Structure 1
């Protein structure tokens, strides 16, 4: 090489360097100017879950599509292994485009004269889902470029989760989790070979293989996937053959429990947060919903009810029933958040404030005789007067004149301000003289079920008021910022002791009392014209409020809080005590802050074990081939065992067997209790197939 040629070659290096630098800069500029359209990845269906992660309700997108965000932590690893073996074996090795797979697909095309295998990676398929285009060569090139962009921005895990979020599964179903709920009725955390193969086959041709509309095509496609997985040693041949015999699944409903409570949780959560964890307890919520439906069936056809259960220590909402039935008037409303006249349910707080002011004590005598307070002359509910009574007797029998007399001494405006300060601001009549008056003592204002829950939780929490917590992220403890000293501890405890000794309705007391549980400190209320029937109570670390009435506020003749709402309150405490005792390992819900003895089991023995359920096992799915088909429940335990389905006792037949006959499809809570009060539970799903 001559000297001149060497100089010329050296001078070419800066040009090549600058050319490469310019090319890289151009690519970088184009990448920034035209980023991959990731906005779709944030358009996710929201799922509201209970405190253990059990889904309560899923919400579709505005266009009606179900697109649940995928999470590899709740996906069966066997599915991921099978998916990658079938779709993209080198997913973790390539850069978004697998040139080896493209070469192999091209050679197969030349040899066979038709497409035998594709060269698209999961990253390229994700790019196509983000930016759908007709399948042309140009579109393939664009997908490859987008795949490279995705690989530069996201981790492999994020790309795989994005693919499993957007993959189509037929109709309005998008994503693995959506498909698993739509076709299998559960999360994809534990899948059988037939389910794995079906969920891999569907995205390839979702409309032609929909198992609910075209089961034959779905079964054939599933079989092809299974044979391929056998070839790749992912699934054993005998298991694949067995999986091929399984019928195609039907379309199922998405979870739809706690209808109004999940709306409230969604309102409180950050915008478009995919999974919203609440403090609700799935088993308690579903059992209360079942009880509410049964209750209103025995009332007139326009009656509704609502109820709320609060953990006093944390102020977490453990269950909230906004309405009993959505097929009745007002059923779509959240009646826990509608202002109603609280009747006599505020009387305990009037007397508690009187105790705090040193105006009275439980043994203080007060007159229950006709009395006019300026232009206001109250009467007792039974229109009789009892003369000289103690404050304790006046509260236990819900006498009106003494309560108004006590409120006059405190000052109605001051009392109303105290309620507002505690977080339960009363809605005053909409008129010019809207200052709180003495009618406040008898329910002459508007409060909600939630407001009363705040007040009664404060009564059970040593007088500390705190807002209710619905979702994780809100304050999880009553002893935190935001707490308010509403009543003194001494006044709260005095009122609770009085309410615990209130007379029970004839022939009715909570079942938990028969198991040496503490009494319930309860108060009932009935609004003017029998429009609202109330019962509120504190016991066992819980505050529960029940309302019964019509959504339109119309009267229900003779429907009092004592006769209508109080039995429901007792049932609610029974359900809550039994359910939460089991889920908390036999312990109380929270630390008792009122001096009321915590719940204890009868005949407690340290080494005693609860019954063991043999059938049906927990989290199982049972096929009921006939609607009248019964199932024999089986458990191993100490002595005689009693079974309950959704809180309803199952009577044993003459042979001593407990036969359970589900009436419809859906989730059920079965519970077995031994003679010592120890219990175990099993959640099952009933599936019915038409003959």
Structure 2
């Protein structure tokens, strides 16, 4: 049957509306497409477009130091998990109660603010959401107009489409201004409260909420009165909103306002700079360093530096000898100190090691069965071809045991043993630890390397000493967290010493008397002083750590009176005390090691006789002429003369020659003649001076030095 007239009219009526509806949908679809195109074409700035401070963290994730971004601003990244939940609750209650409900614009807040404006003729409260404030931080505008506000609102809508609420809140907490060059809650908490924002008191949280509104006018370090008033208003609002109880709010209002700005953490400066050089664009650096130990050793270096002449520097390196992890590195007491060249990392500077290599000479001799710790050895004037070493104090001890010779750091016994084991072999064993000593000139290495006649770093020495508590195997040091190599890469394939040699040496060094006043820790250690009194060393180890200490001048200038035992060893013992004391050194005795007195040893091991030519056996008239061993030729000696007078005398030391000796300075004799080989001269004028010594036979030696 055909349709009725009513049915045909109904179909025609709704057909028109269907066409209109389709056209409307097409138009809205076009509008939506157009808005999407505009949104993409004029995309907002995003938080990732802002530079963030590079952070250096310790092994436990604690902040060691941060680096500023453009214009010297501190802008530290932060996540909500790192911020006190009370602060977040108070912030949202104060700034944006419907943050998690609105799409970037809070319509209820807009209506409220508009009504207040119409009723009062002025702005009572704003309607900016946290998202709108973030938009303003990402795209700053100088003008404060209705158009600028509209742009913020549009940008807020765009940001909400691209970021989660958590991301928006974290970006705001990273970029919010807190006065001066401080941006973000983490930087603000460190600057004003010297702590991370994970735990904040209500008063601290209120201060950090009030600051971004007027960051310069409310800075607590510059305007404490205004800062306190703003803080207390926030606390009152929190009580009204029920976030805090009245009692808690009033108690917080009664707390003293901290009105100073703290320094940012600045630990491990040299390690941080080295990490940045390896990966300049990285945002985060994680080191194996332990923040507490690093801080303790840096403070020790500063305390010690305060008692030393201005140009002296100190370096320390602490490692875990089980893993090779660097736990603390102090390249200098003060990175920014120009006087002592604090920017130079003295843990990596090549210097003469003095006597610190002697344990490895003895270890090779033990390894070869050449001597036993109870073997007798002679300490007397001796010559090895043209090489005539002498002891540090220019005296000789006669016949001593090998253990005593090492503990007393006697030179003649060490050179006698090196003459047998060979300098090349010593160098080869050092290279087994993965280090590359620097040799002077192009000649083959001689016996002088046993007394410091080569160049190494403090890092090299510490690496070498890790072999002693590890049965002779050194461990490779590393400082980047997570880069622990496999055991085959960590441990040198070839040992530095045999297990026997390492055990004997460690047992002897453990019995070395500590410096005066130092506690008798279970600490094995060795000291050294480089030729010309330029470097003082001390390296020690216990059951867990190896620690190396260096004292000297970064420019290598001679320092009268400097010595490893007097200058570096006390710091070594103090350093172990400050990091928590020593761990007992438990050494596993190798099966072929044995304890015996000298008389109980086999006859060939009872007394080591070196085939060296004794100077004492020379015929009269053939004794060597006098040789000035200190000060060395062309030495530059800092006596503090520029400060109004000499602070200390110049030490004078000679070797060989026939006593008595007479000294002359610039052609003028010093009073009297002395049979001693050590003397002193009190200088009074800056500049070059020529020192001459004359022995009983009329033979002379001269050096020229520069005094300042």
TM over 0.5: yes
Alpha-carbon spacing, 1:24–1:595, altered in 2? closer, same or farther (3 Å): farther
Check conservation: 2:177, 2:183, Cα contact below 8 A.
yes
Once the two structures are superposed, residues 141-187 of structure 1 have per-residue CA deviations (whole angstroms, 9 ceiling, x without a partner) of 33233323332333222211110110001111111111112222222
Check conservation: 2:268, 2:294, Cα contact below 8 A.
no
Q: Measure the CA separation in 2 of the matches of 1:370 and 1:52.
A: 55
Shift of 1:421: 4.3
Aligned counterpart, 1:349: 360
Check conservation: 2:320, 2:545, Cα contact below 8 A.
yes
Q: Measure the CA separation in 2 of the matches of 1:39 and 1:78.
A: 24
Q: How does 1:194-213 map to 2 (within 5 A)?
A: 194-213=203-222
Check conservation: 2:469, 2:543, Cα contact below 8 A.
no
Once the two structures are superposed, residues 481-538 of structure 1 have per-residue CA deviations (whole angstroms, 9 ceiling, x without a partner) of 4331433433322221122233445x444243xxxxx3x2111111001111111111
Check conservation: 1:58, 1:254, Cα contact below 8 A.
no
Check conservation: 2:271, 2:329, Cα contact below 8 A.
no
Q: Measure the CA separation in 2 of the matches of 1:360 and 1:152.
A: 80
Aligned counterpart, 1:88: 96
Q: Measure the CA separation in 2 of the matches of 1:4 and 1:417.
A: 104
TM-score w.r.t. structure 1 length? 0.75
The answer as to 2:68 corresponding to 1:65 is: no
The answer as to 2:173 corresponding to 1:164 is: yes
1:529 counterpart SS class = coil
Moved more, 483-492 or 382-391: 382-391
Moved more, 449-458 or 134-143: 134-143
Which of 345, 370, 377 is the equivalent residue of 1:334?
Answer: 345
The answer as to 2:114 corresponding to 1:106 is: yes
Once the two structures are superposed, residues 39-90 of structure 1 have per-residue CA deviations (whole angstroms, 9 ceiling, x without a partner) of 6665222444444455443433342211122232232111110100111111
Moved more, 67-76 or 163-172: 67-76
Q: Measure the CA separation in 2 of the matches of 1:35 and 1:297.
A: 57
Once the two structures are superposed, residues 578-637 of structure 1 have per-residue CA deviations (whole angstroms, 9 ceiling, x without a partner) of 3xx8xxxxxx59xx67449xxxxxxxxxxxxxxxxxxxxxxxxxxxxxxxxxxxxxxxxx
Which of 425, 443, 464 is the equivalent residue of 2:436?
Answer: 425
Aligned counterpart, 2:105: 97
Moved more, 101-110 or 358-367: 358-367
1:149 counterpart SS class = helix
The answer as to 2:162 corresponding to 1:153 is: yes
Aligned counterpart, 2:200: 191
Shift of 1:125: 0.9
Which of 571, 575, 588 is the equivalent residue of 2:574?
Answer: 571
Shift of 1:230: 2.0
1:313 counterpart SS class = coil
Check conservation: 2:47, 2:171, Cα contact below 8 A.
no
1:530 counterpart SS class = coil
Which of 387, 397, 408 is the equivalent residue of 2:408?
Answer: 397
1:286 counterpart SS class = helix
TM-score w.r.t. structure 2 length? 0.73
The answer as to 2:44 corresponding to 1:36 is: yes
Check conservation: 2:321, 2:475, Cα contact below 8 A.
no
Shift of 1:233: 1.1
Which of 476, 486, 497 is the equivalent residue of 2:507?
Answer: 497
Check conservation: 2:191, 2:264, Cα contact below 8 A.
no
Alpha-carbon spacing, 1:478–1:344, altered in 2? closer, same or farther (3 Å): farther
Q: How does 1:608-619 map to 2 (within 5 A)?
A: none
Check conservation: 2:316, 2:547, Cα contact below 8 A.
yes
Q: Note the residue ranges of structure 2 that are not aligned, 5 or more in a row.
A: 1-8, 590-708
- Superposition RMSD on alpha carbons, in Å? 3.2
Q: How many residues align?
A: 576
